[in-house]
A and B are shown apart, each in its own frame.
Chain A
Amino acid sequence: MKRLSLLITMALVTGATTSSFAAGRTHIEIVGSSTVYPFSTVVAEIFGKKTTFKTPKVESTGSGGGFKLFCAGGGIDTPDITNSSRRIKKSEVEQCAANGVNAITEVHIGFDGITIANAKKAPDFKLTRRDIFLALVKEVPSKKDGELIANPYKTWQDVNSALPATKIEVLGPPPTSGTRDAFAELALEGGCKTFDWIKQLKTDSKAAKQAGDKAKATTLKNKYKTICHTVREDGAYIEAGENDNLIVQKLDKNPAALGIFGFSFLEQNSDKVKGAAIDGVAISFESIADGTYPISRPLYFYVKNDHVGKVPGIKEFIAEFTHDDAWGDDGYLTEKGLIPLEPAKRKAMATSAQGLALLKLDAE
């Protein structure tokens, strides 16, 4: 009896509190990409100190996870802002619309570079994206077009005779990480595309899609992705977890190894590690900003316009984020490793963001 009445009271209490949960929220809720997280949190913190609004809560869920939560509905119990290290996909916009989230503002905040680094005391590395692709994927193209063989390369010299004869040993993020996605897309796929017959797969897939043959388009696209994005599993690529600090420490101890991580970690640890030049371009603040460094990606955040006015401070938060003190060339975000937009673009973006301009995706 005691247990039963306890259960009943519990159910009643939960029921009573549920109704009061949705009533109102006085802090902004932000979810999304772990790459944007360090920037978003800094702005959130300063926003909380500078203004009388509460400090926003920032969760790091990954870009995809962020959109899932963001697009789950228009209610006050869903996040107000989601961060992303890629542009919102058409499917995600549709998902949002299906759940009643129609008015979204897109804010492009800048860029992030991914570095392939080794220990300071080790020799400099000069890589091309083709080298990276050949060294790290599971199956590489053989001499004959259209044929794949298991990756035979053991040392960097096997890949490219200009490189040192050290064993291929790369510490990088696991598949769950956004950095890994971006690395696969920009570095591996970039090298992959230098093989004409593989590139042809993608072109064929697009042609098939236009011809209306959806099944063929998907098969070709999947084949292309498998070739380009599948990382080898024979120990040359070591998944070092999401912790980039750990990778830096391991590189410092093992001069023969290379590591993959975000530019901000390189900047903070420039006494221990150095970045490799990719396609002849050294990684630096400037080369990422002007787009010559090939492995860099845009960073965004998306705002749910319906929540403006319901949750206090959203407009002011956008204003703080898009102020030159924050995302400008000398702003506090660049101190944390954000690569800013060009001044003219920044100005235009600030105006459109503060005016809550609606997101429009170009038809692909």
Chain B
Amino acid sequence: MSETTKKIQQGLKKRYAREKRFRFFGLLSILISFTFLLVLLTTISSKGLPAFQQTYIKLDVLLDEDVLGVNKTSEHQALFAANYGKVIKNSLKTMFPNVKGRKQKRALKNLVSKSAAYDLRDEVIKNPDLLGTTRSFWFLAKDDIDMFMKGKIDRNVPEADRRIKDYQLLWIEQLMTEERLEKRFNTVLFSAGDSREPEQAGLKGAVMGSLFTMLVTFFLSFPIAVAAAAYLEEFAPQNNRWVDMIEININNLAAVPSIVFGLLGLAVYISFFGIPRSTPLIGGLVLALMSLPTIIIASRAAIKSVPSSIKEAAVGLGASPIQVLFQHTLPLAMPGILTGTIIGMAQALGETAPLLMIGMVAFVAEVPSGVMDPSTVMPVQIYLWSDSPERAFTERTSAAIMVLLGFLVLMNLFAIMLRKKFERHW
């Protein structure tokens, strides 16, 4: 073996070792990020999964016309205003006749959610013939009862420190033997707006708010961003100082902290134009500002990647610049533009900071039905729930995070699908 080969072979060992090390570190970093993701997902889903179930209590309610002060022929208004809480209380009293003392009576009333009376009211208004009869209804259980049923309240803790007292335990046991307690899929979580009572709180208001906000954002930022990108790429004079300035500014804007856009929205849209606070309109306007630079940058890259041979061929056949743009460049660049748009929208969907300034961090119980109704968005809802003292909100916070993550995954999947569908190879 010659000296050179020896040297090479010695060096070879080192080079192999180096490559191995590099591969090992690469694998390690993937493993680390994967572990983080796994830990995050498991903690969130282990905390959040119980929230998809909710305890219900069956009560036999005598809809006594005397207690309610209404009858089958009563007007809607009288039916609406009647004291349904009283008949529910009476039903509980007949089931547990031995309850004494103010504290216990109050606890008894709190077996079922406060919404029970309003649910009953809606049933009666729908069907006034129920009046005077005894019917069984399934009502939402109060959050404490629900937490106990899910094992979140330990019965071995001394009574004084437990939110469910011994007498309540007896009631729950009786209800269980009579099969009046049932855990069901939590439909309220998806069909109701926000509430301060955990068992009545739902995400629909936030989901609709997010949807309207995203619609405003999309219809504002997409056309403007694509037009700006197309102009900058195809029509703007090259090596012009003004064009360079604009380019630098757009790139800088993409890195501006989102709260700055909130302040801008407050100063311009609310103070100057007088657009009402807390509406999807103002939220969409602010988030459109935020996602514009992202979409412009992505669109420019997509437009740039369309081969010039295609454009030149079109020009050669007599197409005007506008025809080239709309008939060739944009359709070919569309997958890239749409991917960029969806990434920008996904970013906007998860944003809370700018919304803080424009009043979207608010308690809004009603589900918004348009862009001018007060509303919140999903990340704000998560923030508000995580800040609530009631323990049942902890699991609902995690459930809301799961729903938000679900939407983000769906949006990204959609982006991938679009790209796959429209992608062209040349």
Contacts and interface: CB of A to CB of B under 8 A. Distances in A.
A245 B196 contact: no
Interface in A1-47: 2-3, 6, 14, 17-18, 21-22, 25, 27, 29, 37-38, 40-42, 44-46
Nearest to B223: A6
A285 interface: no
Contacts of B154: 271
B275 interface: yes
A270 interface: yes
Contact of B365 (A45, A77, A243, A336): A45
A55 B411 CA distance: 32
B363 A41 contact: yes
A54 interface: yes
Nearest to A330: B106
B129 interface: no
A120 interface: yes
Interface stretch (A261-269, A338-346, A348-356): A261-269
A38 B388 contact: yes
Which interface class (under 10, 10 to 19, 20 to 34, 35 or more) fits B?
35 or more
B275 A18 contact: yes
A25 B157 CA distance: 50
B257 to A, nearest CB: 17
Which of B374, B386, B394 is packed against the most chain A CB atoms within 10 Å?
B374
A242 B157 CA distance: 29
B275 A57 contact: no
Which of B195, B228, B394 is packed against the most chain A CB atoms within 10 Å?
B195
Contacts of B224: 3, 6
A57 B391 contact: no
A48 interface: yes
Which of A6, A29, A52, A271 is packed against the most chain B CB atoms within 10 Å?
A271
B102 interface: yes
A113 interface: no
B274 A269 contact: no
Interface string B365-400: 110000000100000000000111111001000000
A265 B163 CA distance: 13
A49 interface: yes
Contacts of A38: 196, 388-389
Contacts of A264: 389
A46 to B, nearest CB: 7
A335 B388 CA distance: 14
Contact of A2 (B114, B196, B227): B227
B161 interface: yes
Contacts of A84: none
A337 interface: yes
A268 B389 contact: yes
B140 to A, nearest CB: 13
Which of B114, B195, B196, B224 is packed against the most chain A CB atoms within 10 Å?
B196
Interface in A216-268: 242-245, 262, 264-265, 267-268
Nearest to A54: B366
Contacts of B390: 268
Interface in B41-85: 80
B245 to A, nearest CB: 17
Given A37-B363, A265-B389, A271 B195 contact: no
Interface in B142-199: 153-154, 157, 160-163, 195-197
A120 B276 contact: no
Contact of B363 (A25, A44, A52): A44
Given A49-B118, A271-B162, A21 B275 contact: yes
B361 interface: yes
Given A18-B274, A21-B276, A271-B154, A48 B366 contact: yes
B362 interface: yes
B228 A41 contact: no
A332 interface: yes
Contacts of B110: 335
A21 B269 CA distance: 12
A271 B157 contact: yes
B387 A245 contact: yes
Nearest to A43: B196
Contacts of B160: 270
A217 to B, nearest CB: 35
Contacts of A120: 161
Nearest to A17: B275
B388 to A, nearest CB: 7
8 contacts: A3-B224, A14-B275, A21-B276, A55-B364, A55-B365, A269-B389, A270-B163, A332-B114
Interface of A: 2-3, 6, 14, 17-18, 21-22, 25, 27, 29, 37-38, 40-42, 44-46, 48-50, 52, 54-55, 57-60, 77, 120, 242-245, 262, 264-265, 267-271, 330, 332, 335-337
Given A42-B196, A244-B389, A245-B386, 16 more contacts: A3-B224, A3-B227, A6-B227, A18-B274, A21-B276, A45-B197, A50-B118, A57-B278, A57-B374, A59-B359, A264-B389, A268-B389, A270-B161, A271-B157, A335-B110, A336-B389
